[in-house]
Amino acid sequence: MSRSVVLVDAVRTPFGKAGSLYAGTRADDLMVRAIRGLLDRNPLVVRESIDDVAIAATTQTGDQGMNIGRSAALLSGLPVTVPGYSIDRWCAGALTAVTTIAGAIAMGVNEIAIAGGVEHMGNHPIGDGLDPNPRFLAERIVEQDALAMGATAERLHDRYPSITKERADLFAFNSQIKTAKAYADGIIQVDLIPTAARNVELGWSIATVDEPPRPSTTLEGLAGLKTPFRPAGRVTAGNSSGLNDGATAALMASEEKAVELGLTIKARLVTYAFAGVEPEVMGFGPVPATIKALKQAGLTIADIGLFEINEAFAVQVLAFLEYFGFADDDVRVNPVGGAIAVGHPLASSGIRLMLNLARGFERHPQVRYGITTMCIGLGMGGTVIWENPHFEGVVK
């Protein structure tokens, strides 16, 4: 048994710089705010009817622990009859929460459910509490570089020597420019849930926009940044995503249930795939994941009209584009900017990609298919292929 699965709606909190905007805010409270904002936007959904809640976090301790899926569901005011569970696939946590929920819906187990992701990198610095098995290095299962994401980005530059620092800097610059334009056009704000933030010095405030974007970025400024992962390297703070805090939430349903309740349909899930690569070049993961997903869908890369590729590092996106033969500035790719500008709170980012793609579908009814794809630490990639419900000529 398989049923059509749709993205009904998705939201996110504004993203903050790690330990800055949300320094006095708990991670689970960020997640609760996203869930409540999602439900407030969809009053036709009876809370008792939600079948499950899957929430991702990369570091599942402290305010991101205690089975954050169940905890956030209870804290959000959902009935005790609504279960919940936690997901961990590092950067692709929210992406995996969506695909896991989608699998249950397609099988007929669930009708309508919530997927989400949160990361408070201020409270949980990347790598905090990790205890890698010494066999990883002792037995050369992975190289030392595999355990440092910036070092894997440098290795990806090595694999693609044509992807120079100048190209990476230009891509990063354009991400900032596109994000600034998207803000000026009011595209991004419409899906941001105003979120309370507390600063020890300034007290309470309401966050309504992302904190990380740097619209004043210049190519000259990017060129002068240090390369912390390798002397005379190519990866800098300017052509990478930052360390961030934020949460995202998505409402998934069977298409039949969405139509029955009169809910919006923002995207129709076609298929998804995850794939593994050498951990030392984890940024290459989106390539085999996309190849695998396209094969499953019976599509080719030429069928895809919009791409939302997570900008963990500029080189990772450029490697994807180079492999498939796209220009660095292809207008189909991240048209409203990406993580280099707005941030990458690890496990939350997959749903941000879906949000951007859904809005792109609305603006481009001539596009039938789009993808959301991202690299994942320790050598993986994840890709979801979506169909545009607004596509001209398709029965809605």
Task: Please say whether the beta carbons of 280 and 148 come within 8 A.
Answer: no
Tracing tokens 């699965």 back to the chain, one arrives at: 5
**Cα-to-chain-centroid distance, residue 170:** 22
Active site residue 344: yes
CA separation (Å) from 396 to 57, 103, 111, 298, 321?
34, 22, 19, 22, 32
**Cα-to-chain-centroid distance, residue 317:** 14
Among the listed residues 120, 124, 375, 390, the single catalytic one is: 375
Task: Please say whether the beta carbons of 388 and 363 come within 8 A.
Answer: no
Phi, psi angle pair for 193, to nearest 5°: -95, 120
Torsion of CA 324, 330, 332, 333, to 10 degrees: 70
Give, as one character, the DSSP assignment of residue 9.
E
Q: How many CA atoms lie within 13 A of 221 on its CB side?
A: 11
Tracing tokens 């300034």 back to the chain, one arrives at: 202
pLDDT of residue 257: 98
**Cα-to-chain-centroid distance, residue 112:** 21
Note down pLDDT in tens along the chain; length 396 residues: 589 999 999 999 999 999 999 999 999 999 999 999 999 999 999 999 999 999 999 999 999 999 999 999 999 999 999 999 999 999 999 999 999 999 999 999 999 999 999 999 999 999 889 999 999 999 999 999 999 999 999 999 999 999 999 999 999 999 999 999 999 999 999 999 999 998 777 789 999 999 999 999 999 999 999 999 999 999 999 999 999 999 999 999 999 999 999 999 999 999 999 999 999 999 999 999 999 999 999 999 999 999 999 999 999 999 999 999 999 999 999 999 999 999 999 999 999 999 999 999 999 999 999 999 999 999 999 999 999 999 996 444
Active site residue 91: yes
Please state, in angstroms and rounded to a whole number, the distance separating the CA atoms of residues 14 and 237.
Answer: 21
Domains detected in the chain: 5-123+242-386 (3.40.47.10)
Active site residue 390: no
pTM above 0.85, yes or no: yes
Among the listed residues 120, 124, 157, 344, the single catalytic one is: 344
Among the listed residues 91, 120, 124, 390, the single catalytic one is: 91
Say what angle helices 314-324 and 286-297 make with each other, to 10 degrees.
Answer: 40
pLDDT of residue 360: 98
pLDDT of residue 1: 56
Please state, in angstroms and rounded to a whole number, the distance separating the CA atoms of residues 58 and 117.
Answer: 9
Task: Please say whether the beta carbons of 115 and 250 come within 8 A.
Answer: yes
With H, G, I as helix, E, B as strand and everything else as coil, classify residue 161: coil
pLDDT of residue 198: 85
**Residues facing 276 on adjacent strands:** 380
Please state, in angstroms and rounded to a whole number, the distance separating the CA atoms of residues 333 and 356.
Answer: 11
pLDDT of residue 396: 41
Q: Which two tokens stand for residue 288?
A: 């085999």
With H, G, I as helix, E, B as strand and everything else as coil, classify residue 236: coil
